[in-house]
Amino acid sequence: MSLQAVDYLAPNAALEFVASLHEFGFGVLKNHPIRQEAVQSIYQHWLGFFQSPEKYEYRFRSSFDGYFPAEVSETAKGCIERDIKEYFHFYYPWGICPEALRPELVAYRQAANSLAEELLGWIEAYSPPEVASRYHEPLSTMIRGSEQTLLRVLHYPPFQGSEPSQALRAAAHEDINLLTILPAANEAGLQVLTKTGEWLDLPCDFGFLIVNIGDMLQEASGGYFPSTTHRVINPPSSAANVSRISLPLFLHPRPEVVLSERYTADSYLQERLRELGFK
């Protein structure tokens, strides 16, 4: 079993991409419009940020934007060890960000958000009628104007040899949001859990774009599009001294968007944050 990259420029791209999302909860795109030079520049500049003491000037605020050091990193549900990572949360337009790094981060966020609207249009167009009828508004407009969409710059640092034996760079989890867009990272490690209980390596060719369904879209589609468990495993010893940078954009609907008869986007988010101990 393998998850194949879909050529964004192919005539049947939308159909194949949505079929992959239905089957795996994940889709991979190649030849997409996100400029790889821009992604590489962000990786390089933010690696410098994470390696400098400047990061401590942007320690996270009560609004959950800013720098999160490794000692406050997330602990996945059912795990006892924190993930081995540090990260920066950027919310547009109101979140804090180093001024020198802000312009290219904003430009990337806008480009990825625009692509996400198009991909959500694909998802709606190829949803079965009984699934599409559940959507309370077009999927692509759910994220339009949202200030809850989160751009996270992740740094998985080189291993020092003192890491807890059970800790992973990112333990198995699902995403809360509607849709996640992620450029293939500069190192391998992302895996998805298949329906048969096997961990499947995702293609990590630089230039690929990984897209996955979040819990909110699973809720809105009545489960037709699954929010699939995924993780980032630790590197082999040959790559243990290499940093891994990742740039996921977690697309959130506007708070008032109706996901289902049970939830708005805001009520769903607040419930999940309480379950995770953030509220």
- Sheet with 190-193, edge to edge strand ranges: 170-173, 230-232, 190-193, 199-201
How many angstroms separate the CA atoms of 256 and 266, rounded? 6
58-93: per-residue pLDDT in tens?
999 999 999 999 888 666 666 556 777 899 999 999
Cα dist from 268 to 6, 185, 203, 255, 256, whole Å: 31, 29, 31, 9, 11
Q: Evaluate whether residue 43 is within a structural domain.
A: yes
Contact status, residue 222 vs residue 18, Cβ threshold 8 Å = no
Which of 91, 94, 75, 92 is closest to 83 using CA atoms?
Answer: 75
Nearest 5°: phi and psi at 102?
A: -65, -45
Across the range 126-154, mean pLDDT stands at 97
- What is the pLDDT of the chain when averaged over all its residues? 90
Q: Evaluate whether residue 2 is within a structural domain.
A: no
Indicate if the pLDDT at residue 255 is higher than 80: yes
Helices then strands, each counted (H, E), the chain: 7, 13
What pLDDT shows up at residue 169? 72
Q: What is the domain count for the chain?
A: 1
Contact status, residue 19 vs residue 25, Cβ threshold 8 Å = no
Contacting residues for 265 by C-beta, under 8 A, at least 6 apart: 142, 148, 178, 216, 252, 253, 254, 255, 256, 257, 259
Q: Does residue 142 sit in helix, strand or coil?
A: helix
What pLDDT shows up at residue 25? 97
Which of 176, 158, 140 is closest to 248 using CA atoms?
Answer: 176
Share of the chain above pLDDT 90, in %: 70
Contact status, residue 38 vs residue 216, Cβ threshold 8 Å = no
What pLDDT shows up at residue 157? 82
Q: Evaluate whether residue 4 is within a structural domain.
A: no
Share of the chain above pLDDT 70, in %: 87
Q: Evaluate whether residue 271 is within a structural domain.
A: no
Q: How confident is the model at residue 238 (pLDDT cuts 50, 70, 90)?
A: low
How many angstroms separate the CA atoms of 148 and 179, rounded? 13
Across the range 260-278, mean pLDDT stands at 88
Instruction: Tell me the H-state helices in 126-239.
Output: 129-132, 139-142, 215-220
Indicate if the pLDDT at residue 187 is higher than 90: no
Contact status, residue 38 vs residue 32, Cβ threshold 8 Å = no
The residues with which 179 forms a beta bridge, in sequence order, are: 213, 251
Q: Evaluate whether residue 68 is within a structural domain.
A: yes
Q: Does residue 239 sit in helix, strand or coil?
A: helix
What pLDDT shows up at residue 239? 64
Q: Note the pTM of the prediction, 2 decimals.
A: 0.93
Domain with 74 in it: 25-252
Indicate if the pLDDT at residue 104 is higher than 70: yes
How many angstroms separate the CA atoms of 205 and 74, rounded? 27
Q: Evaluate whether residue 261 is within a structural domain.
A: no
How many angstroms separate the CA atoms of 122 and 216, rounded? 17
Q: Evaluate whether residue 268 is within a structural domain.
A: no
Return the CATH number at 152. Answer: 2.60.120.330
203-231: per-residue pLDDT in tens?
878 889 999 999 999 999 999 999 999 88
Lowest-pLDDT choice from 1-15, 107-121, 154-168, 220-234: 154-168
Q: Evaluate whether residue 227 is within a structural domain.
A: yes
What pLDDT shows up at residue 94? 96
